[in-house]
Chain A
């Protein structure tokens, strides 16, 4: 058994889907890579783009399945077999229609809850005993179809909340790796707030090339 953790972000491959609500899992991983200055996702292994590094002193493999959402489980199962990673050392990051926009929810296990990527992973692994980090994207108003909703880009207003949620997701994942899922749940589950925004100094001058 490996002591490596596998962190998977769910989304659809292709630039046209990059800012879709359904690609929130990819966005979480991108924010994690940025924060820890890891190499970007340029290496392909099996059916996923991967990168590796140390986060909170833990060796991690980050993966973005390139199979389209509803076949994500194939890429995840393949990586877990190859690296001999047990299900408890898997963290799946994805969007959730049933949570309000920007709300973060970490769980040690659970059903797929209608998320096709999670469903595929459960099917391929044969277990739902793996942690998952979900960020809410909200349901579409009225009777609009969920499919269209998840394949649309975030609105400007939503992006503000999503950015805060992404900032909150980074320490949540660090805590998960360092102290376990229970402590991370108690600290980070809930809506994103302005306190989650990183306190960085604006540039003193900016020139556009």
Chain B
């Protein structure tokens, strides 16, 4: 009777191991831990999470407008070929995006068509107004088009529209940071701060998980010792 109870305790202890570990090994995981729903982001945003599967092929990151009734998604770079556990999955360059809410999607493929998916909703992109728009001389700003009020189907440009500076076309491409690096080429101090905060959160979660595992192992050890002792007494 005593042994049965001890076995039951052991089973319970093993069951108390962090669920993510077992889930990752058995079925695969598609999870984004940063940014989370409701997060306010700007600039180059590191996307942190887990992308694993026993038959892992690749994972893909994409963003879309929120709401997204046309189900249109923009991929964040090329598909990634290696599995990631609670680390940087890629980065999302939000510079140039209209401020507002977006969706962030992670798909982990284990065949050409089968995938696990997770979507983070209501991620608010809030980039500062471009400096050029604020500091441009008034003379240049007069180039801002103001559609005639008679224009059918065209909203008035003055209603909440940002000033548009008429710059001549330039062939100089803006560098687009690759998804591999967290900070990328931007090196902005704001981004560095965000990165640290996110990494600290991830490290904290890792610490919690490790503590749980240690407690579970100690419990298992104590249980086994109790079983051995009871056998000796007999």
Contact = CB atoms under 8 A, between A and B. Distances in A.
Contact of B98 (A14, A30, A37, A45): A14
A206 interface: yes
B176 to A, nearest CB: 6
Nearest to B69: A159
Given A42-B95, A204-B114, A209 B36 contact: yes
A19 B69 contact: yes
B70 A162 contact: yes
B161 A43 contact: no
Interface string A193-208: 0000000110111111
A16 B203 CA distance: 39
A208 B121 contact: yes
Interface in B80-108: 93, 95-100, 107
Nearest to A199: B113
A22 B153 contact: yes
B147 A71 contact: yes
A46 B145 contact: no
B151 interface: yes
18 contacts: A14-B160, A16-B155, A18-B65, A19-B69, A30-B70, A34-B74, A37-B75, A68-B154, A70-B148, A150-B152, A163-B70, A166-B72, A203-B115, A203-B116, A204-B115, A206-B117, A209-B36, A209-B37
B196 to A, nearest CB: 22
B154 A116 contact: yes
Contacts of B176: 39, 42
Interface in B107-136: 107, 113-121
Contact of A12 (B70, B74, B154): B154
Interface in A105-158: 114, 116, 146-147, 150-151, 154
Given A78-B169, A206-B118, A17 B155 contact: yes
Contacts of A151: 153, 155
A156 B61 CA distance: 27
User: Which 7 A/B pairs are nearest by Cβ-Cβ distance?
Assistant: A42-B96, A82-B169, A70-B151, A40-B74, A150-B153, A203-B117, A201-B113
B147 A30 contact: no
A117 to B, nearest CB: 8
Contact of A15 (B98, B119, B168, B173): B98
A13 B147 contact: no
Given A15-B98, A19-B69, A69 B154 contact: yes
B166 interface: yes
A44 B32 contact: no
Contacts of B93: 42
A33 interface: yes
A14 B156 CA distance: 12
A147 B93 CA distance: 36
Contacts of A18: 65
B70 A159 contact: yes
A14 B71 CA distance: 19
A68 B155 contact: yes
B180 interface: no
A191 B121 CA distance: 33
